[in-house]
Structure 1
């Protein structure tokens, strides 16, 4: 079938992307779902730094590639062997399928699935399949993290989706697939703070603000840290007890037993370490450039009994964790609507990448 999507033609383009415009936005051929796959009509897709990192070259991925990995949509067709989900179901699309049988899948979400990770790196679906092609030449177009949601439709592996009830709007469901799984999971799966324990979140983009919201929803005293004043104001509105720029919170001497770094930079990681109290835990979920390095004092780690935890996709098991976030949203404790910065169309994508790079956005949503 013919779909409309945004294909990234080159990685490493220079900003502003509205000028360099590395995308071709137009028709792409999408194959029918194969065994174990399904066809989803995309309703909403978030614009995330994991997309930007492919555009600017910080993450090496095979090109051409149809980007987009945080999304929600409606199941329109089932491939052979898929019988546990109904056509017409709204699904959250998650960017790391879990086979459920490999060694890593036995770690309760701590380690990413081995075949799922291999497929993501290769730009294929699980099993090495590619379902996207150029309409004129038949050239393969790679999948982004098993999803490729910057398009009207996507074919994905069954393990890349989690069904949600129809009362969950598509825009909320989309946020659950990356921002909330990653940020919220850093709290509930990786850090696991004691009841009422203070949590500091460094970096208040979509993932960091989601971590802040989940920690507040669970009853923790939360402090937000970011260099953008508007994000600090929003953190206070959402229930943070305080919010600071990085230098200001260090000067004030605030620390916490749990500190989550969600900015994806070495400097933010060092700030998070400085804000972690003796005996405390630093959880890092940001994805800095591959060559980024940070300074850590081994003596301080030993003498102060510190712990550093890396958490990918919030150490999540999506089919377990997404219903928990939905329940919190339904009660009003988790106002995910506040994460939405704006709504855009496919044609707005280059400008949206520039806005994301500016650090001023939480989640821009591509809607259809």
Structure 2
């Protein structure tokens, strides 16, 4: 099969013909319908995050099951699935407690070995091992994934669109609904109006927030957030984020989401909190980045800092629900997609994402 191949941060992603082995126990093979291009791949290809290379990138995607391995009983050939980059083991303490996004095996094996749940890879080139990227590797014509990472969805949903549910929608909407549990009538600030931030806006809207303030360096991006449910927009340009937000809401925010993941945006989210507020870190920074806050101010305001991994969702339950919301017209996905491109354009898609010229792109094999 053809797939994108990442080898080193100084070498552009290339398209290669790779061998893909059959699924083993509790695994399935999926023919990819579409794969999203996310900032996580930028972190990877810039060398800001470690993952064992060579590997096939892509952690957001959708497709059709073409083969099931031994032990798989909940999926059959022909099922439509959205891929989840949290293919939980189902047996560790966190999984048993219903907190699959904290799965110990994902953290200790999937995220470090470049393999699937057993630590081995199904990908190879000329007999040499090629690694998976966080258990998905969707930038390819096909993928073998753990069965818990292939979430069955309704057949009438367009696969080339609901691919976004696997990361952007689940992470952003989930952060508002599950991690923060945004309360009705509250004031919400969302810093960063990319694919994740716009979905945080949607999640806050669904929870009944009274005021949703979207903040971005780009005036156009901030204004776009109003389409997704924001009531106010702040296009910063060169302005100070904290000052601009405080000018609009002097008493501070009930919830402030960092949907970018830079040190400056994390610190800004904390500084704009009101009494009892919560800063939610959704965007992911480079490894080793550290942010500062004033503990006394945080304590006196009875405020909180929350980390949000994958929107604190339960993939097997929440991903199908998000697809249902899209089909009902309550979740906007089409408006996030700015380009559909062939797999051969993977390197160009990364460059366009880095330049800020694209919102969410899909690679369609």
Residue 5 of structure 1 is matched in structure 2 by 3
1:355 corresponds to which of 333, 352, 355: 352
Alignment of 1:93-112 (within 5 A): 93-109=83-99, 112=102
The answer to whether the aligner puts 1:258 opposite 2:255 as a matched pair is yes
Partner of 1:181: 170
1:16 is aligned to none
Q: Give the unaligned 5+ runs of structure 1.
A: 14-20
Instruction: Name the SS of the counterpart of 1:222 in structure 2.
Output: strand
Contact 1:250 1:274 in 2 (8 A): no
Structure 2: tracts of 5 or more residues without a match = none
| 1:113 maps to 2:112 | no
Aligned residue for 2:73, secondary structure, equals: coil
What number of residue pairs does the alignment pair up? Answer: 356
Residue 224 of structure 2 is matched in structure 1 by: 234
Corresponding residue of 1:127: 118
Measure the CA separation in 2 of the matches of 1:108 and 1:315. Answer: 10
**Stretch moving more, 205-214 or 353-362:** 353-362
- 1:209 aligns to what? 198
Residue 248 of structure 1 is matched in structure 2 by 244
CA offset digits 1:10-58 (Å, max 9, x no partner): 13x2xxxxxxx52220210000111111110000000011111110000
What is the TM-score normalised by the length of structure 2?
Answer: 0.94
- Counterpart position of 1:309: 306
Superposed, 1:29-44 pairs within 5 Å as 29-44=19-34
Distance, in Å, in 1 between the alignment partners of 2:351 and 2:283 is 19
Moved more, 213-222 or 262-271: 213-222
TM-score (norm 1): 0.93
Q: CA deviation at 1:196?
A: 2.6
The residue that corresponds to 1:195 in the other structure is 184
The 1:197–1:188 alpha-carbon spacing in structure 2 relative to 1, beyond 3 Å, is: same
Matched, 1:160 2:149: yes
Q: In 1, Cα distance between the equivalents of 2:175 and 2:58?
A: 22
Greater mean deviation of Cα atoms: 233-242 or 180-189: 233-242
Asked whether the equivalents of residues 25 and 69 of structure 2 are also in contact (C-alpha less than 8 Å), the reply is yes
Q: Which ranges of 4 or more aligned residues in structure 1 deviate by more than 6 Å?
A: none
